[in-house]
């Protein structure tokens, strides 16, 4: 029996993630990654701040904080509306990729899963976990080498949709942010907070 998902609530912090069905890939080219990020911008940025993300060939992770938003009348509650926006992201992406590949059906194994982030320590370590994930799964040798995550946006100075300054403040400064990503903090907190 599966455990119920945490309900989305306004001003709540969440680690949001999902995986491709079976052994399929969600992302097969740079344009696939960019398409998904454009949909995140369209459907998720109006309802949530994005603090970290990582897209890998077969799954993704985001750290978000839900904004204080007006819920459209057709939705019973905030959870339904927010889950609907994530569903729009995945469904629109699936349609675009199926058209491109000449395939049919859902690409994702489920609607998005999420963990409620209920402490500053958990939030900080979720950032590290998300950025280290491509390394743990063998997609990259280091977080700075993985193109499809927020890591370089956070340590860089260019324009970004990521809440860079706030994320850096959780680590005190850019140097500490980089240090945490090179330490074994990910292993320690993965177990402590049951990160997946």
Model confidence pLDDT, tens digit, residues 4-43: 688 999 999 999 999 999 889 999 999 999 999 999 999 9
Q: Is 140 inside a domain boundary?
A: yes
Q: Is 107 inside a domain boundary?
A: yes
Model confidence pLDDT, tens digit, residues 112-149: 999 999 999 999 999 999 999 999 999 999 999 999 99
Are 15 and 195 in contact by the 8 Å Cβ rule? The answer is: yes
Model confidence pLDDT, tens digit, residues 43-97: 999 999 999 999 999 999 999 999 999 999 999 999 999 999 999 999 999 999 9
Which residues, in sequence order, are bridge partners of residue 20?
108
Note the pTM of the prediction, 2 decimals.
Answer: 0.91
Query: In which domain, by residue range, is 32 found?
Result: 13-192
Q: Is 133 inside a domain boundary?
A: yes
Compute CA distances 100 → 24, 74, 109, whole Å.
Answer: 15, 32, 20
pLDDT of amino acid 191 = 60
Q: Is 182 inside a domain boundary?
A: yes
Query: Which DSSP string corresponds to 118-137?
Result: -SHHHHHHHHHHHHHHHHHT
Q: Is 4 inside a domain boundary?
A: no
Q: What is the arithmetic mean of pLDDT over 140-162?
A: 95
Domain count, the chain: 1
CATH code of the domain covering residue 98:
3.30.70.1290
Q: Is 8 inside a domain boundary?
A: no
pLDDT of amino acid 143 = 94
pLDDT of amino acid 6 = 86
Q: Is 61 inside a domain boundary?
A: yes
Compute CA distances 4 → 1, 7, 10, 64, 115, whole Å.
Answer: 9, 9, 19, 20, 11
């Amino acid at each position: 029996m599966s455990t119920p998902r945490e309900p989305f609530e306004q001003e709540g912090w969440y680690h949001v993630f999902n995986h491709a069905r079976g052994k399929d890939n969600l992302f097969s080219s740079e344009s696939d990654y960019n398409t998904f990020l454009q949909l995140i911008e369209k459907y998720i940025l109006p309802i949530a701040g994005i603090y970290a993300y990582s897209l890998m060939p077969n799954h993704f992770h985001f750290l978000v904080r839900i904004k204080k938003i007006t819920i459209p009348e057709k939705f019973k509650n905030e959870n339904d509306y927010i889950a609907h926006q994530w569903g729009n992201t995945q469904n629109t992406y699936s349609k675009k990729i199926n058209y491109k590949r000449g395939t049919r059906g859902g690409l994702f194994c489920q609607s998005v899963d999420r963990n409620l982030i209920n402490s500053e320590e958990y939030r900080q370590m979720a950032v590290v976990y998300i950025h280290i994930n491509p390394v743990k799964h063998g997609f990259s040798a280091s977080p700075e080498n993985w193109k499809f995550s927020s890591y370089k946006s956070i340590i860089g100075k260019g324009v970004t949709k990521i809440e860079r300054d706030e994320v850096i403040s959780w680590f005190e400064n850019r140097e500490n942010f980089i240090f945490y990503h090179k330490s074994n903090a990910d292993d320690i907190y993965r177990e402590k907070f049951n990160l997946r």
